[in-house]
Amino acid sequence: MPVVRSSEAVTHEVHGARFVSYASPLSGSRELCAWRGEIPAGTRAPAHTVSREEVFHLLVGELLMTLDGRTERIGAGDTVIVHAGTTLAVENPTDHTALSWVTTSVGLEAELADGTRLVPPWAN
């Protein structure tokens, strides 16, 4: 039975946020990836277009999430479904770290506005 202990999770830091990877091919998952996101107070991640659908569930805090130019304030307990091909931006306008849980399928890539492609190690 594949079990990933919290002490075995792999942490990555990108664009001021922290991604703590629990499920990915590196940990034994074949199809899905899952991670905890830690978005510090005042963080504004750059807009990026995702290649795979993501399910973004906010555990703690409040965020401004912009999907294809439409911004929504979300709070703890809210879930945002981000379809493949959507341009996403995340901002934490509060003075507390927000915590999220995100799932997607293996192979997610993100393209930044300048054309830079990011292949996140926590989702591949």
Please give the average per-residue pLDDT across 5-24, as a whole number.
Answer: 95
- Inform me whether the pLDDT recorded for 117 exceeds 80: yes
What was the pLDDT predicted at 2? 84
CATH of the domain at 69: 2.60.120.10
What was the pLDDT predicted at 96? 98
Evaluate whether residue 4 is within a structural domain.
no
Number of compact structural domains in the chain: 1
Evaluate whether residue 74 is within a structural domain.
yes
pLDDT digits (tens, 9 = 90+) for 52-108: 999 999 999 999 999 999 999 999 999 999 999 999 999 999 999 999 999 999 999
Evaluate whether residue 61 is within a structural domain.
yes
What residues make up the domain containing 53? Answer: 9-123
pTM beyond 0.85:
yes
Evaluate whether residue 49 is within a structural domain.
yes
Please give the average per-residue pLDDT across 4-19, as a whole number.
Answer: 95
Evaluate whether residue 63 is within a structural domain.
yes
Evaluate whether residue 1 is within a structural domain.
no
What was the pLDDT predicted at 114? 96
Evaluate whether residue 31 is within a structural domain.
yes
Evaluate whether residue 110 is within a structural domain.
yes
Nearest to 124 by CA among 23, 4, 1, 5: 23
- Inform me whether the pLDDT recorded for 1 exceeds 80: no
What's the mean per-residue pLDDT of the chain? 96
